[in-house]
Chain A
Amino acid sequence: MRLNLRSVVRAEAFVLFIVVLLGATALSLVSSQFLQTFNIYVLLYNVALSTLVAFGQMVVVATGGMNISLGAIGGLSAVVAAMLMEWHGWPLWLIIPVVLLGGTLMGFINGFLTVKTGISAFVITLAMASAYTGASMAITNANPIYGIYESVRSLGQARIGVFPWPAVATMVVMAGLATWFHRMTSGRQVLALGGNRTAAELTGVPIGRRVIQAHVISGLIASIAGFLTMARVQAGAPTIGNAWLLPGFAAIVIGGVLLEGGKITIVGVLLGVAILELIANALAISHTDPFFVTLLQGALVLVAVILGQARRRMMAKGRVRPLGALPSTEPRAE
């Protein structure tokens, strides 16, 4: 019991969890509105979608690369889905697989080009991002497509109390990623090659195939996020995904993912997203003067990461942390 508790406190995600808890408590004390069902629902919805975006980025970052085209894939997926509904009237059971396949394909193109040309994922996905965004703009002529099905509209609003149904997709992705990274060889190999490519290659990891796999999964997650965002905003807008890049990175870095690759934390990313969304919610509840929003967001991100770093240093003092120990299952203590 004692040991268990200590490992919980030492887990990297713990401090994030405390920050989330303190933040939520403070907000509920300050504002009577915070704990209302609808507010919590909106908050959870934001967390669910932003977590998908952050996961999409995390998967490629795990290989030591990055995916600049994440938002572009999401946007194009949303636009294509809306286009198939409004202009072609395809049935939904056909549209969803086609859109997810499209995201997978775009991810595959990214991964294939990165591996086969040996050019950095940043450059490849940057170039492909403008290609994908250009396609969204060309399809829609910068206008949102509104003719999406009633079933999709209601999916975008479906909830039980505070729980938004689309969050199920996030939970499925989360479980899938946890299984892949911690239980399956291919996922472990991705982490291995992200940590030390040469060593991984020497132990027989098929580097190219694993990198492509990571990009494919990233593309798939991006298209899920794009489809759900479309369902939420009830329009296939080419602007969907425009602003996914920096918040996605911020969430995974706060969560404790190494940008150099090789280390991920699924729970940490979820908590990182929660911190960012709590900040946004606090700014909304307090009716902050718009002029202060940019400053506060920047300052709060800085404070959050510097506090996390300070704790990490304190923990490191005196004892060497086990390297690569991932909080794969969220430990619970009573």
Chain B
Amino acid sequence: MTFAKRTRLLSLLALLLAVGLVAVACGDDAATTTTGAATTTTGAAVAPTKVASVAGGPHPFFDPWGPGTNDAVRDFGLAGGTYQFPPQWELTAQNNMVETLVAQGYNAFVIFPGDATGTNALLGELLAQGIPSIAGGGCTSEPSPAAFCLATDVGNSAYIGTRALIAAMGDTCTAADPCQIVHIASRLVDPNTQARIAAVDRAVGETNGTVRVLQHLTDSDDQEAATEKVGAILASSGAEIDGMISVAYVGSSVAATLLRNLGDKRIKMIGIDDDPEVLRAIEDGFLVGTMSQNPYGQAYLGSWVLDKIRHGCTVKDGAPFLVDSGTFLITADGANVGDVPSTAIAEYVEKRVNITNELKASFEASYLSCP
């Protein structure tokens, strides 16, 4: 190829790319809805609240954060709201995204902590600029610059779920022939995972040896990894396993699918979250139940609380850091599993709305002191 030809070709490619990019950028400018609010003003009056909900990475659990944030903007008259997630599960990528949003004028943040400890530094810097934040979906470690942690108490949820699983396995477990369970968990390096492992161990410890943990399966929160890991343990130890407890969203969905494929209703399982596959498996009897969380409420209530704080409310003395956004067991018919109360699939959405509304009604009185 001659140089002239190559230069021409390269220039053409460059031009095409550039035109394409400009077209995309312009198109998106029009498509993005930004409520025309004045960005940060330095006046005495409080600038209108623009809230951003930032997930830790791409993950279906956070999907309801979008409508949660948007509904809060609509219901509480905020100046703007957005739901964003960084392209990878990486603290630096998340920090970068949050800082970009600050530069765009967002002044209140609901953040899933990319790292329980590491995110605190970012939240501290936000607070120094007068930007309040709430840890959503998971807690930052205390003491934290975040006003609240609006999340499932992960330890408690795993504990209740394991209790339900133990009850579901019932009398077949004896000290002489203990039942063995597998715990499917998310990322090993996530501090929440450590809290959950401890909680599962605690519930199992209370059985006085009639149940034991065969394995904690970590890093099982994406389809491929979960299929391989859960598949491998079912393949290599299926006969030894009596129950499974999953505290990972995708892990639950994958395990539900695998049990369905195996046609195995002997192994009892409790999942987490309301992925469609999980709910279908409960209806068909492959899962005992699933632990509900309330991501919509986290973003919705979080946005509202942040607006309150920006308008002068402060955290009440002695208010707890963690406010449980709603943890309960969902089963097919809503009957108790042992002594763990549950809600039927048909009613759980309504129950979650009720929890959100109740929390909102009592939040100001219980946790805030407002002028």
Contact = CB atoms under 8 A, between A and B. Distances in A.
> Do A and B contact each other directly (Cβ–Cβ < 8 Å)?
yes
Given A39-B235, A133-B87, A142-B58, A117 B223 contact: no
B215 A116 contact: no
A41 B217 CA distance: 21
A258 to B, nearest CB: 28
Interface residues of B, number: 42
B237 interface: yes
Given A42-B236, A118-B6, A137-B87, 18 more contacts: A33-B235, A33-B236, A33-B237, A33-B239, A42-B232, A42-B235, A113-B13, A116-B13, A117-B13, A130-B87, A141-B63, A234-B257, A235-B253, A237-B224, A242-B222, A284-B232, A284-B235, A290-B216
Interface residues on A, range: 35 or more
Nearest to B59: A142
Interface string A281-292: 100110100110
B10 interface: yes
Contacts of A146: 276-277
The residue among A38, A118, A134, A137 with the most chain B CB atoms within 10 A of its own CB is A38
A284 B234 CA distance: 9
B13 A137 contact: no
Contacts of B60: 142-144
B359 interface: no
Given A117-B10, A143-B63, A285 B224 contact: no
Contacts of A294: 188
Contacts of B13: 113, 116-117
29 contacts: A33-B235, A33-B236, A36-B235, A36-B236, A39-B236, A41-B235, A113-B13, A116-B10, A130-B87, A134-B87, A137-B58, A142-B85, A143-B60, A144-B60, A144-B250, A234-B257, A234-B277, A235-B277, A237-B222, A238-B58, A240-B224, A243-B225, A280-B232, A281-B232, A284-B233, A284-B236, A284-B237, A291-B188, A294-B188
A117 B60 CA distance: 38
A125 interface: no
Given A33-B236, A157-B261, A290-B219, A284 B227 contact: no
Contact of B215 (A229, A241, A287): A287
Interface of A: 31, 33-34, 36, 38-39, 41-43, 45-46, 113, 116-118, 130, 133-134, 137, 141-144, 146, 157, 229, 232-235, 237-243, 280-281, 284-285, 287, 290-291, 294
Interface of B: 6, 9-10, 13, 58-60, 62-63, 85, 87, 188, 214-219, 222-229, 231-239, 250, 253-254, 257, 261, 276-277
A319 to B, nearest CB: 42
A218 to B, nearest CB: 19
A287 B237 contact: yes
Nearest to B12: A116
Contacts of B223: 144, 233, 235, 237, 239-240
Nearest to B189: A294
A100 to B, nearest CB: 20
Nearest to B9: A116
Contact of A243 (B224, B235, B238): B224
A294 B187 CA distance: 12
A287 B261 contact: no
A112 to B, nearest CB: 10
Contacts of B232: 42, 46, 280-281, 284
Given A46-B228, A142-B58, A38 B235 contact: yes
A233 B63 contact: no
Contacts of A43: 235
Contacts of A157: 261
Nearest to B261: A157
Contacts of A31: 236
Contact of B236 (A34, A142, A232): A34
A287 B214 contact: yes
Contacts of B250: 144, 237, 239
A143 B249 CA distance: 11
A284 B224 contact: no
A233 B254 contact: yes
Nearest to A288: B215
A45 B222 CA distance: 18
Contacts of A291: 188
Contacts of B85: 142
A292 B24 CA distance: 46
A290 B237 contact: no
A281 B236 contact: yes
Contacts of A117: 10, 13
Nearest to A119: B10
Contacts of A142: 58-60, 62-63, 85
A229 B254 CA distance: 13
Contact of A233 (B62, B87, B227): B227
Contacts of B217: 290
Contact of B228 (A133, A238, A241, A280): A280
B182 to A, nearest CB: 9
Contacts of B226: 233
A290 B236 contact: no
Contact of A42 (B214, B219, B231): B231
Contacts of B9: 116
Nearest to A235: B223
A242 B237 contact: no
Contacts of B261: 157
